[in-house]
A = this chain, B = another copy of it.
Amino acid sequence: MSKQVGIIMGSKSDLPIMSEAAKALEELGVNYELTIVSAHRTPRRMIDYAESARQRGIKVIIAGAGGAAHLPGMVASLTSLPVIGVPIKSSNSIDGWDSILSILQMPAGIPVATVALNGAKNAGILAASMVGAYDAKVAENMDNFKKELREKVEENARDVELKGWRDTLDD
């Protein structure tokens, strides 16, 4: 069965952040592929990747990059699939502002679905929600995931109400 989501990143050093997208997709029952593609160092590889994604069965591409981050936008220019951009606060980034602005502020015609700085986990969840809009099983997984988020907060709330904040802090 073909992969539904393609995860790419500009550099191997982005892997600790970007692997959170892969983990989220696994949790939500969406299969994916993951590799490294650099807009600036492997421009032809980027073109091949982006132009072949749809015919390989990919439904969404997640692209992460930092600094002057051109990968998500360039991939978006080369495919009609939705592209999710993850701005990465890489070592050469100015507190993440460059990563965010160079992914978010795409010109009219070529959107990138941008998530929070270092928000690779959210990129995975967002990709799953796109798949889930057409796939009942994934939608159910999404609902369960949201339920777990809610229950975790409720449990923490009960804890702090019962034990008081001083004891909770001491834990």
Binding site for B on A (CB under 8 A): 10-12, 15-16, 18-19, 22, 34-43, 45, 47, 54, 59-60, 66-70, 73-74, 76-78, 80-82, 84, 92-98, 100-119, 121-123, 125-126, 129-130, 132-134, 139, 142-143, 145-146, 149-150, 152-154, 156-157, 159-161, 165-166, 168-169
Q: How many copies does the complex hold?
A: 8
Structural contact, B126 and A113, CB atoms closer than 8 A: yes
* Neighbouring B residues of A125 by C-beta, 8 Å: 109-111
* Most interface-central of A98, A103, A118 (chain B CB within 10 A): A98
Contacts of A40 in B (CB 8 A): 73-74, 76-77, 106-107, 109-110
**B-chain residues with CB within 8 Å of residue A77 when the two chains form the complex:** 39-41, 43
Determine the residue in chain B with the shortest Cβ distance to A90. Answer: B107
CB distance from A25 to the nearest CB of B (A): 12
In the docked arrangement, what's the CA distance between A123 and B108, Å? 9
Q: Which residue of B lies closest to A125 (CB)?
A: B111
- CB of A67 within 8 A of CB of B157, answer no
Task: Select A68's contact among B78, B106, B145, beta carbons within 8 Å.
Answer: B106
Alpha-carbon separation in the docked complex, A143 to B78 (Å): 10
Report the minimum CB–CB distance from A28 to chain B (whole Å): 10
